Structure 1
Amino acid sequence: MKATKTLAGALALAMLASTAVSFQVSAADASVTLKGAKVEAEAGGAFSVDVSLADIPSTKINVMDFAVTYDNTVLNVDSVKIGKSADVDVSGDSTAADAPVFNTNIKDSEITVSWSTALGSTSWIAEDGVILTISGTVKDDVKDGTVTPIDFAPVTRETYQGSGENNKSMVIGYVNGKDAASYTIKTEAGSVTVGKSGQTTTETTVTTSGEDTTETTSKTTSKTTAKTTASEAPATSDSKGSETSGGTVEGSVLYGDVNSDGRVDITDAVMLNKVVAGAVTLDNAVQRKNADCNGDGEVTGSDSTVLLQFLVSIINTLPYTE
C-alpha cells in the first residue's frame, strides 16, 4: 500500500458552526477518575503498575484517548496489557482486526492509549476497575529511595497533520449517534518507588509537551468557540491539487474530521463507524469529503479502518490509498 502525501484544506471553523456535532455532557457534572497504582520495585527488578478508572457515569464509555507518561531514564516499559474493566466483548466490531479496539504505543517517555468501539452500549466500558497494566523493569543504576511518577497527559500529536498546533485534550467519554460527551477527567498519578519501604525518597519528574491536565473540564466542540477564522486560514490545496483559500468551505477537506470540529481524533473514528453502520447520516458535503479517508470517493467500512489505523499510528497520512 502507498500513502499519498496530501492532507488538504484548513477548514473555516466559524463557517461550519451550523454543521458541528455537539460534544458535550448529557448528565450534569459527569466525571471519571483516572488513576495509577503506587508500587515498589528493586533497581534492576521488575515492576507492574495498574491504571484504573473510577466513578464511571451510567452513560458508560466507548472512547478513550490519553497518554501515560513516565521517566524513561528510570524505567524501561516492556508491555501494556488490557485490564479487566476494558476487556469487554467487542467481538462483533468489524474494524478490530485491522485497528484494535484497544491500542497502545510505547515511545520515549509516553505511552499512547486509545480505546474505541462503534458497537452498542452493551459493549462499552461500564465498571470501575483496571483498564490497563504497565509492566517493565527499573534500570540498574537507579538509587534506592527514588520515587518516579506514572502520570497522565494529552497524547503528543498535532490536532491534524500539518496544523502546527499540539493536541491539548485527553478524552474519556462516548459517541452515540450524534450525541456525544467528554467527561471531566480527574487524575491521580501513580508511582514506582525504588528500594524498600521506609527509605528516604527522591522525587523524579516527567516533562511532557502537554498542558497541566490534573483536571480536564467538559467542553463542547461547537465552532463558535474555535479561534480560527476564515480570514486567518491559509491557502491550501485539495486532494486534486486545485487551490482553495482557507475559509472557503467548497472544495476544502480535512480528511478524518468527520464531526467537523477542526481536529482529527478518536471521536471521529467512532462517529465514522456509526455512519458506516447506518446509525448516523452526515449532514453536508464537507463532512462526507472528510469521511473519505481512503480517497476513493465513497464512505465505507474501508474509510473507518483507515482512520483507526491513522489514529493509532499504523499509517501516517490521510487519505491513504492502495
Structure 2
Amino acid sequence: MRASMIRGRRLRRGEALRSLVRETELSVSDLILPLFVEPGKGIRRPIASMPGVFNHSVDTLVEEAKRAHDLGIPAVLLFGVPDHKDELGTSGYEDDGIVPTAVRALKEAAPGLLVITDVCLCEYTVHGHCGVLRHGEVQNDETLPLLARTALAYARAGADIVAPADMMDGRVHAIRQTLDESGFSQLPIMSYAAKYASAFYGPFRDAAQSAPSEGDRRGYQMDPANAREALRMVKRDVEEGADIVMVKPALAYLDVIRRVRDEVDVPVAAYNVSGEYAMLQAAARNGWIDGPRAILETLTSIKRAGADLIITYHALEAAQALR
C-alpha cells in the first residue's frame, strides 16, 4: 500500500490550526522600547529619519512610557541628549544629569515599568566617541572608570538594569565591581556584547546627536564579517558578570543571534536598530509593503533566531497589533 503523501497544508487551514501548531510566539512581554530624553519641558520633537519616534523632555517621556506600560510593554531603554558636552562626557555621569532625572521621574510615575539605562559616553562627548579620545584614538583603560561612574549614577537614580554599549574591553568587570562595592550587587547588567560597526545606526545618531566629529567607531565596534569573534565577546562578558547579553543590530545578524543563543545560558537580547526601523517605515509609508504585517514578521524572525528580548522602535505599534 502506497504511503500517504505528507501534506503540510493540513495544518495551515485556518487561523485556529495555524495558531495551535505555531513554533514561535512573539509576545508584548518580549519587547523593550527605546526612548530619547533631553532637558526642557513640553518637548516632543519628531526625528525626521525615524518617522513616529520623538525626542522627549522628561514630562512627555513619562507620558510615552506610561502609554507603553499600559500596552503591556515591560521595559524602556533610555538614551540621554544633554544640554552640554565636553571631552570626557561629564554630563553623562552627573547625579542630576538628564538620564538620572528621567529615571527618577519614571520610577515615580510608573513604578511597575522596568527602566534600563544605556551606559555610553558618545552622547555626552564633544567628539562623539564612546570614550576618552587622545590623538584620534579612544583610550580603553582611561574610559573604564568613567563608564563605571556613569552606571553608578544611574543605579543611584533607581535604574533597574544598566546596559554598557561602548565596546571597551573590560567594561563589564569595571561596572560590576563598582556596583558591588557601592551596594548595588543585585543590579543586573545587560551588555552590548556583540555590537557591530554597522551602517544601520544613522537615524539614531541624528536623534542622539552622537555622530563622531572625526574618524569612525570601527576601532572598537566589531567587524560585520565576524561571527566567531562575537561568541568570544559574549562569553567574556558573561564571565565578567553580564546577566543579559545583546547582539546589535538584529536583522543583518540573525545568524549571530542564533549562535549566541546556542552558546550561552543567559538571556539574549537583540537590538532592532534605527536604520532597520527607518527602512520598514519608509517602505510602508510609500505603500510598498504592508507595514503592520512586515513589523510583526520582522520581530518574529528575531525571536525565531533565538532572542529572548527585542529592543525595537516598533514596540508601540507591535504591542497594539499583538493585543
Q: TM range, normalised to the smaller chain?
A: under 0.3
**Normalising to structure 2: TM-score of the pair?**
0.26
* Bigger relative CO (Cα 8 Å, ≥ 6 apart): 1
Structure 1 or 2: larger helix share? Answer: 2
**Normalising to structure 1: TM-score of the pair?**
0.26
